[in-house]
Amino acid sequence: MKEEQIDWIRLQKALSIEAEKGFTNLQGNQYRFSEFMCLSFGQSPPFGTSLEARRKWLDLAIKFSRYPELITTQRQELVRETRQFLQELKQTLENPPEPPQPKIPKTIPVTETANNTRPLTLDQSLKSLTAVGERKGQDLVERLGLKTVKDILFYFPRDHIDYSRQVYIKNLEAGETVTLVGTVKRCNCFTSPKNTKLTIFEIVLSDPTGQIKLNRFYAGTRYNNKGWQERQKRFYPPGATIAASGLVKKSKYGVTLDNPEIEILDSSGSQIESIKIGRVLPVYPLTEGIAADLIRKTVVEALTAINQIKDPLPNDLKNIYGLISLKEAIANIHYPDNSNLLAHARRRLVFDEFFFLQLGFLQRRHKLQQNQTSASFNPRGQLIEQFNKIIPFSLTNAQKRVIQDILKDLSSSTSMNRLVQGDVGSGKTIVAVYAILAALQSGYQAALMAPTEVLAEQHYRKLVTWFNLLHLPIELLTGSTRVAKRREIHAQLDTGELPLLIGTHALIQDPVNFRKLGLVVIDEQHRFGVQQRARLLSKGESPHVLSMTATPIPRTLALTLHGDLDVSQIDELPPGRQPIQTVALTGQQRTQAYDLIRREIAQGRQAYIIFPMIEESEKLDLRAAVEEHQRLSEVIFPDFQVGLLHGRMSSAEKETALNAFRDNQTQIIVSTTVIEVGVDVPNATVMLIENAERFGLSQLHQLRGRVGRGSHQSHCLLMSSSKTTDARQRLSVLEQSQDGFFISEMDMRFRGPGQVLGTRQSGLPDFALASLVEDQEVLTLARDAAEKIMLQDPTLKYSPSLKRELDDRYQRMLGSDILN
């Protein structure tokens, strides 16, 4: 949410009215007070918001998701806290402080050896560095892929520990990272009397406010040597001044520093020379056999070559977006003088990661738009006119808008590449039908590919009714299609007799040849790999592509995955749909859930009961579908027919189970997540999800979408045995909201983008620093910057430094699949 998009007055007015009405969670025209606040704070905070304020912004979104559960005094305090926060944030944004001037730290010690007499170069081997050598250099190459000075400079820390704050002993607080400077009272080093393999090093340190005991522990019999222990004691004689940095811990023995770093000083006012003590310490991603100190010392030595780094970003772009130079950023991401410089360094490097990703996406889209296609469709034709007359319902305004976007693309001489996002039940299939009819009435064939047989069969079942009325042949091709039928389909495709084929991965097999493929529709496209999608497209000559997903994803995630696509959203549900009443239950409330199912079935309705597993696991105490099906049918619901559906059943068994449920021959169906998409039974009004805490919010929302598809009030019951605060917070989001885009945003904040997508091969690039949760504002700015560059110089002909960096990054970091 950009600053100008925030309606400060509306937010403050909502808070004021809620307070005036006694904190009753007022119902507005569209949302309740808590829903409105939750949605407002669920969007990105305004540009310029500090890291601390961004975290507070997210915290308020979570707090308002629990607002209905709070007592009046707690609601009052939350409203007061929010009003004060918004007032302070608005003042800060209107009068921003001057940012500190970043500089390259000059206090990093660099070892002066013969190797330093000649300046290092960026392409110089790490093996030539004093801190590395041949053997360690080989380890860095083999274990971390670090070969050159440039490689180590761009090997960024995954975290930082701030030891830069020096405090007195009396002011220590548990959980803080600090540095102490004081005098050694006594020092001892000895083998533990209880464990001969453990050596304990102990120092008592004092300063003007008190004293503290510090311990370090050494595991292994080699430290039992008396000579070694005596040498440690002589290093830190009584009266010596030392600096110690570490995490403050409190136990029954008092306050101490956990495994502290210690350095002898000349005096209490002496400068600390260590690369660890008294500064912001970088923490690097490591692997077995690579010590943290090796990386730190190598970085320190490599930083002498930092002036050779060329900044690819133009100065005017850096000025517009408030970015420091690249060499300043690299110096301060490794060894910042303070936390402010670290924040500036990280922001610049995160911007670069997002900017070049978006620039690559936009360049790819530009190139695709230059490709001419022979498949230019007529958006106004007889088939579409006939279809408008036979559909028994009215389209929503959102559907009409998206259809117009698609038909405009299809009438162009360049290939369409559009993604349609729509919440559960928003009517994406009917939108795809208009695209298919535009292809067919223009003399082309179309293909619709779905990731599962259940979903492909659902599409076929829905479309065949309409296409029969239009006298258009349509076929279904899956792994279960019989050989004879398969051959018949292949022949009809080859001659052009079959205009539309719906199927699964079977569509991309070699015998499937279209005579004139003009349109490819890919449903739940994120479940297909890049190569699978490409194989289907190769069966035509630059066909138009329409991708669809019923899994709403946050805008930042969409930009990162689909930055090269045109995106349309169906953000409106068909009229008559009632909100699904969602409630989280504990095991003690199971009887209430079963009673609700009985009441609904008594009224002629049906129910789903969903389990996360097929069979019992010894490691996870989860109720499993196969075992529970027998208990539910024989003990709990003996008067009803209870069906079973899971992924290990054959296609014929699945179809039999689904048909029985569709025809109300079974009133309850026990299932795994195989019914997450593609099952449409309007008569089903209850969904009970066992072990709901094991699912992500987006997946729960998808499952919930199997009910509420008719005109009757529907219910979703989230059964959870977890007592953790995190699990309760997550499930409360489902209780409060029906908005799939908001739910997916909250899911990403709780679990991260990879988990939201549900698979590691989701296509997300590996970022060194950037976070799609924490850095949404920077991603938005980077996309804006990339769009401006493309408007001015779409081929980067006049921006050679940007072109070189873009090419280098996609070869070195992001991989070929990103732009395939």
pLDDT tens digits, residue range 264-319? Answer: 776 655 555 566 666 677 888 877 778 878 888 899 889 989 999 999 999 989 99
621 by DSSP, 3-state: which? coil
pLDDT at 699: 84
Q: Do 165-278 and 581-737 share a fold?
A: no
* pLDDT above 50: residue 114: no
pLDDT at 125: 93
The residue ranking higher by pLDDT, 14 or 533, is 14
pLDDT at 64: 83
The stretch 719-724 carries a mean pLDDT of 84
The residue ranking higher by pLDDT, 688 or 22, is 688
Element (H, E) at 70: none
Under 8 Å between Cβ of 444 and 518: yes
Strand order in the sheet with 177-191: 210-219, 198-207, 177-191, 241-251, 254-265
- Tokens linked to 736: 């409060």
User: Among 366, 372, 415, which Cα is nearest to 789's?
Assistant: 366
pLDDT at 563: 73
pLDDT at 817: 45
Highest mean pLDDT: which of 253-267, 310-324, 545-559? 310-324
The stretch 67-73 carries a mean pLDDT of 83
Highest mean pLDDT: which of 38-47, 281-290, 557-566, 655-664? 655-664
Listed in sequence order, the residues at least 6 apart from 810 whose beta carbon sits closer than 8 Å to its beta carbon are: 356, 360, 816, 818, 819
- Tokens linked to 760: 């590691």
pLDDT (tens digit per residue) in 197-233: 899 999 999 988 899 999 988 888 888 888 888 888 8
pLDDT at 526: 64
* pLDDT above 70: residue 6: no
Instruction: Enumerate the domain spans of the chain.
Output: 3-94, 165-278, 382-411+427-549, 581-737
The stretch 384-406 carries a mean pLDDT of 90
pLDDT at 102: 35
Which pLDDT band holds residue 116 (cuts at 50, 70, 90)?
A: very low
pLDDT (tens digit per residue) in 126-141: 999 888 889 988 988 8
pLDDT at 274: 63
* pLDDT above 50: residue 816: no
Which pLDDT band holds residue 182 (cuts at 50, 70, 90)?
A: confident
Highest mean pLDDT: which of 342-356, 541-555, 709-723? 342-356
What radius of gyration, in Å, describes the C-alpha atoms of the chain? Answer: 32
Listed in sequence order, the residues at least 6 apart from 9 whose beta carbon sits closer than 8 Å to its beta carbon are: none
The fraction of the chain above a pLDDT of 90, given in percent, is 28
- Tokens linked to 81: 């806290």
DSSP 695-752: S-HHHHHHHHTTSS-SSS--EEEEE-----HHHHHHHHHHHH---HHHHHHHHHHHH-
Q: How far apart are CA 577 and CA 580, in angstroms?
A: 9
Say if domain 382-411+427-549 classifies as CATH 3.40.50.300: yes
pLDDT (tens digit per residue) in 676-685: 665 778 899 9
pLDDT (tens digit per residue) in 489-511: 999 999 999 999 999 888 888 78
**Which CATH code is given to the segment(s) 581-737?**
3.40.50.300
The fraction of the chain above a pLDDT of 70, given in percent, is 87
Cα atoms in the 13 Å half-sphere on the side-chain side of 784? 12
Q: How far apart are CA 353 and CA 556, in angstroms?
A: 14
Average pLDDT of the residues of the chain: 82
Say if domain 165-278 classifies as CATH 2.40.50.140: yes
Angstrom distances, CA of residue 20 to CA of 79, 311, 376, 699: 11, 55, 60, 38
Under 8 Å between Cβ of 396 and 575: yes
